Structure 1
């Protein structure tokens, strides 16, 4: 009989809550668009280099060893891994909120009430045994369990857990995105180091060449074929090139230290390939289809999961307009003497209660939270759409970069070849007094600059190969 009355009361409260629920504010919600162009300009190949593992994409064993070390020891990446653990624990916390809470405990107390009070007078007339009154003062001993449970009628608590799951997935994608950045940064720094090695080698060879010419100029000065001015100009050129040498060495040190920092270790020499940097081949690139970016790019998937969480947050905020139903139950033993504590059924206590409460007047705080949740969801939509457009733009830029750098490297290579021949010709003409020293100086300087520009172009080619891999979403697998 009692339970049926409780059931009728609960049904009545739910009916009132349902009527009340119709009074939530109306929102203007924005929906996302994840459409992409059908293909990248000039490409219709469905094969995608971004789907390759970095171990398959980078075939340099020294570079692979550096990346492998960084993925284990990089401090920033390890910090992100702990953030993933925090997000995972948040799921457990949210799950626990919609399950019953059960607390067990016990206690002891003593109470003395006035004899001339209703309770005191009643205790004075109560006999435990014939001729023996209620103890005064009155001890109190109890032991039992209390359960509380908020019935998740509107799925507020379950939706909060779903939002936590989406944020956990977003944190994993955030970690994957950081891995792609870390792999790309190490690869770019590695190729920069190889380029500096090559420039250092060119400078040393150039200094040797300039010293040979300087010896000739000094001999020509002794035979009065040139003046002291020519000797001084050639000496200055040698000193200028030597100064460049120390600048390159400093850049090598800084680049090695940057790589070591990414690897989570103190500065040390970086083991690297001795292959000729100028003849390094560029990895063949398959851009695939723009739609594949949605599944390959971790930053897009991160934004997608954050959007899913933001949508659920709106539902959680909406549920706060509705009344909540709580159930409390207690079961245990209570007596004034430990001897009677577990007497059954005399010392058994139990209780069952249900309550429902919801906002009625002054719902401004709840409305503000509801509107804010919707605004954050709109932000998440824009962020998701922006991440798709950013990814598409990055791929297009790198595809264009690769194509243009290929042509640039070809032209620069021919320019270097011509200038190297010019250096030989100018030296021979100078020895036969058919060219002055300024022609030799200018030709040497132009040849050195052209060699440096060729190495810089090759470095940009290798960087573009790395950057297109990252833009396609490669590196985290």
Structure 2
């Protein structure tokens, strides 16, 4: 470190007000958003302007669970701690622009005077570094951007928790309904088995038919424990999301076909993507990286330290002395460390810019996929409802024909399997429609 001849104090103060602005090499994203998204579906539920997107499903049980999760979810509590830490870092950065004050005191005596002559002195000093080349301002900008990043990360975490909760909630309702369907299918299998047993004992059918129905009955029974395990897994997952003990935690039953299906109207503007917290977080990280480039650049330039001190002899409270000084210092040789730090900061900024652009592209894809899923799942459900009704009629007819001996067991078992598959597919498609609505809310950052 070498000292450069002092500049006039008045000039130093003027220079201190000239902080560096963003350099001309600040990167800009080249990604352009489309004007709007097209969808052919009409909304079954009116969408809210902002905020509580989960309320559009019209399910009070879901609303209560989400409210609990927002206050008790452990991951959200940890995220709030990170936001608090970032706010503290911003206060630290803000304080660097203010003078620092220190005080000291000392007592001395002359041993030859038999400890009777004491001298007391105290020193009060204030000093701060003038933000000559924007280092302090850039540090504040970086801390501010980091705080925004932490806040947006918390918003993204909230959106993730609420969307996961809604998805698990609807999955649980579907699994419960699937359990009911499996029980109905088991009852059908048991009824058919009784018919088969009677005909087998009468010698009307072969052992092959009897064994086939016996296997079908066992398979129907085996499906129930598997679905019960799925129900348990979903119920306990919901308990964790709302910050409660999984044991004995209960979730109310709802009718999936009474649940609203919010769907946006045509022309959803792509500007809604600027609400996505992950994009806002990536943008804040990019601003912080740009500020770090300014810090690294300022470290290569001179710094100014302004100090003022007053020393007073406390014994007589007289002869005060004061000094005012300013010095300009610059690192002449650092072995290339400062240049390397600047290059590293620039490279970090370029990497974050690429990540930001990638996040934009992924967001555009998410919206397209969600809109497509909403449309296709609605069309699929319409056809599956027709198939469900037809397969039930076919099963009733096949059972009747088998009872009177005009049809074989293979046709009856096939009709039973078709009906079961159609029922399961109808439930899964209803779940897909609900999941697609959740995905769209997530894709545009929650709410429209």
Q: TM-score, normalised by structure 1?
A: 0.84
Q: Which moved more, 1:278-287 or 1:446-455?
A: 278-287
- Residue 252 of structure 2: aligned partner: 272
Shift of 1:427: 0.7
How big is each residue's C-alpha offset from its partner over 1:201-242, in whole Å with a ceiling of 9 and x where there is no partner?
A: 111111112211211222212322123332332222111111
Shift of 1:248: 0.2
**d(CA) in 1 for partners of 2:146, 2:31:** 20
Shift of 1:272: 2.2
How big is each residue's C-alpha offset from its partner over 1:58-116, in whole Å with a ceiling of 9 and x where there is no partner?
A: 3100011111111111111111111100110111101111211111231224567xxxx
In the alignment, which of 19, 33, 38 is matched to residue 36 of structure 1? 33
Shift of 1:12: 8.8
- Residue 137 of structure 2: aligned partner: 158
5 Å-filtered alignment, 1:20-419, equals 30-33=27-30, 35-42=32-39, 51-54=50-53, 56-110=55-109, 140-267=119-246, 268-275=248-255, 277-278=256-257, 280-286=259-265, 288-294=268-274, 296-334=275-313, 341-346=314-319, 348-362=320-334, 364-419=336-391
**d(CA) in 1 for partners of 2:325, 2:260:** 77
**d(CA) in 1 for partners of 2:417, 2:160:** 38
Q: Secondary structure at the match of 1:35?
A: coil
Aligned length: 435
Q: Secondary structure at the match of 1:51?
A: coil
Asked if the contact 1:156/1:315 (under 8 Å) is kept, the reply is: yes
Counterparts in 2 of 1:142 and 1:165: CA distance versus 1, 3 Å: same
Task: Give the greater-gyration-radius structure (CA).
Answer: 1
**d(CA) in 1 for partners of 2:354, 2:49:** 25
Shift of 1:14: 9.5
Shift of 1:471: 0.7
Structure 1 residue 463 and structure 2 residue 435: aligned? yes
Asked if the contact 1:81/1:175 (under 8 Å) is kept, the reply is: yes
Asked if the contact 2:370/2:440 (under 8 Å) is kept, the reply is: yes
Q: Secondary structure at the match of 2:333?
A: coil
Q: Secondary structure at the match of 1:463?
A: helix
Asked if the contact 2:138/2:292 (under 8 Å) is kept, the reply is: yes
Asked if the contact 1:426/1:440 (under 8 Å) is kept, the reply is: yes
Counterparts in 2 of 1:169 and 1:425: CA distance versus 1, 3 Å: same
For the aligned residue pairs, the C-alpha RMSD in angstroms reads 3.0
Shift of 1:141: 2.4
Q: Secondary structure at the match of 2:308?
A: strand
Asked if the contact 2:6/2:327 (under 8 Å) is kept, the reply is: no
Counterparts in 2 of 1:443 and 1:13: CA distance versus 1, 3 Å: closer
Stretches of structure 1 lacking an aligned partner (at least 5 in a row): 113-132, 335-340
In the alignment, which of 412, 435, 438 is matched to residue 410 of structure 2? 438
Q: Secondary structure at the match of 1:70?
A: helix
Counterparts in 2 of 1:7 and 1:318: CA distance versus 1, 3 Å: closer
Counterparts in 2 of 1:8 and 1:223: CA distance versus 1, 3 Å: closer
- Residue 420 of structure 1: aligned partner: 392
Counterparts in 2 of 1:160 and 1:285: CA distance versus 1, 3 Å: same
How big is each residue's C-alpha offset from its partner over 1:285-331, in whole Å with a ceiling of 9 and x where there is no partner?
A: 2462012211x111111112222222222222111121111122222
**d(CA) in 1 for partners of 2:376, 2:250:** 31
**d(CA) in 1 for partners of 2:440, 2:7:** 64
Shift of 1:384: 2.0
Q: TM-score, normalised by structure 2?
A: 0.89
- Residue 444 of structure 2: aligned partner: 472
